[in-house]
Amino acid sequence: MIRVLLADDHTLVREGLKQLLAATADLRVEGEAANGDEALAQVKANDYDIAVVDLSMPGLAGIDLVKRIKLEKPRLRVLVLSMHGEQQYAARALRAGASGYLTKDAAADQLVVAIRKVASGCVHISEAAAAHLVASAAGDGPTHRRLSDREFEVFRLLVAGLGPTEIAEQLHLSVKT
């Protein structure tokens, strides 16, 4: 039995994922979290085989959440399930310690396959993301891929229209930083 932690700030998404996974004999949702802080607390308090986490949640979120989970429980496998395209975040998530990346527009059976694959010790990304990672490693990637994870997060929030104060609040930083 694969023990799963679901971390997503949307209740409807968590409920849907729970129902989907309940229909599979070898997967059992044993924990839920509505934000990154809850997810980290669940990871500290329980033993899961895999954490399925959204990148965009209130509080501790994104790549920082993946890093913190891996610091707390290095052997815990992490599958990122996100609305953000693989081109933007897959490489960063994998560098942070995730073992897989899947977008929320994937088919339900792809999620089940990804969970099983990641829980068994393999890495799961799409063929398109794999090709993109190879191109990036060869130095053919765009300039914004050279930003640090924090710089990229600030850049993404700027593009989304947030101001310095809002960005500081969301990233738990001082405005002066």
pLDDT at 137 over 60: yes
pLDDT attached to residue 27: 97
56: left (phi over 0), alpha (psi -120 to 50) or beta: beta
Secondary structure string (H, E, C) spanning 99-131: CEEEECCCCHHHHHHHHHHHHCCCCECCHHHHH
pLDDT attached to residue 150: 75
Q: 49 CB contacts (<8 Å, ≥6 apart)?
A: 2, 3, 4, 76, 77, 119
pLDDT attached to residue 108: 93
Q: How far apart are CA 51 and CA 8, in angstroms?
A: 11
pLDDT at 144 over 70: no
Determine the longest span between alpha carbons in the chain, in angstroms: 51
Per-residue pLDDT averaged across 112-125, rounded?
94
pLDDT digits (tens, 9 = 90+) for 67-103: 999 999 999 999 999 888 777 788 888 889 999 999 8
Q: What average pLDDT does the structure give for the chain?
A: 86
pLDDT attached to residue 153: 78
pLDDT attached to residue 125: 86
81 vs 150, which has greater pLDDT?
Answer: 81
pLDDT attached to residue 177: 67
pLDDT digits (tens, 9 = 90+) for 24-35: 999 999 999 999
> Across the chain, how many H-helices and E-strands are there?
8, 5
pLDDT attached to residue 37: 95
pLDDT attached to residue 145: 58
pLDDT attached to residue 167: 78
pLDDT attached to residue 158: 66
Q: What is the pTM of this model?
A: 0.77
